[in-house]
Copies of this chain bind each other. A is one copy, B any other.
Amino acid sequence: MSIEALTEADDGPRSKRPAILAAAVECFGEVGYEATKWSEVADRVGIGQTALYHYFESKAHCLLTIMRLGLRNSDAAFREATAGASSSSDALRAAVEAAYALSPQEVQQNRILQSNIALLANERASRREETERQACRELVAQVEHNWAELLERGMAAGEFPRRDPQMMARSLLGLVVGVWRWYRPGGPLELRTISDFITGCCVRMVAGREPDAG
């Protein structure tokens, strides 16, 4: 794992948090969140239960943290990729490509995020879990906003035909993240090939005109 994907500004050099998160990403990715034993995560890091609970009060708290960091990374990658774009079409291509410029471990983190996204719908009983859930929801809204803003700018400039920017943003995101359901690192399709394919789909969806109905 590019350790930054799971690190926060306030993690000191001796913090075990990033290592716990990396082990949890491995476990959740291998057997799924539901089937993962929380004690297995501690075993992989080589720490005891007490140390584990110092960082995370529950398996759900750890999962929600992984999800929040995945969303934080997506938000940051979008901003970085689109900052220098000379047109909205270029920005759109760069945003889609950035969504797939990931290490296998970051792919796993994104798959976990998408597989468990329904968890964000309902309030959590624990305060720390609920704090993470709220932060995730704000980041989901922020990511949607990033895409909608890019689309609005392109429509205002006449680069893209006018269509509902929020519905288009959600549609693009559904298409882009839908890949994490079926893509597996080491499978028959290279991520680079998928990235090019989905970029083409997004460009036609946003910038294309309806072909003449037969």
Residues of A within 8 A of B (CB): 31-35, 86-87, 89-90, 111, 115-119, 121-122, 159, 163-164, 167-168, 170-171, 173-175, 177-179, 181-182, 189, 194, 197-198, 200-201, 203-205, 207-211, 213-214
Bound together, the chains give a CA A177 to CA B177 distance in angstroms of 12
Q: Are A207 and B211 in contact (CB under 8 A)?
A: yes
Given A31-B122, A90-B214, A204-B208, A170-B178 contact (CB < 8 Å) = yes
Closest B residue to A28 by beta carbon equals: B118
Q: Tell me the minimal C-beta distance from A83 to chain B in angstroms.
A: 18
Bound together, the chains give a CA A210 to CA B175 distance in angstroms of 17
Q: Tell me the minimal C-beta distance from A173 to chain B in angstroms.
A: 7
Q: Tell me the minimal C-beta distance from A184 to chain B in angstroms.
A: 10
Given A115-B118, A122-B35, A178-B178, A210-B214 contact (CB < 8 Å) = no
Q: Are A175 and B182 in contact (CB under 8 A)?
A: no
Q: Are B174 and A89 in contact (CB under 8 A)?
A: no
Bound together, the chains give a CA A90 to CA B201 distance in angstroms of 20
- Chain B hits for A194, CB < 8 A: 167
Given A171-B178, A175-B175, A32-B198 contact (CB < 8 Å) = no
Closest B residue to A125 by beta carbon equals: B35
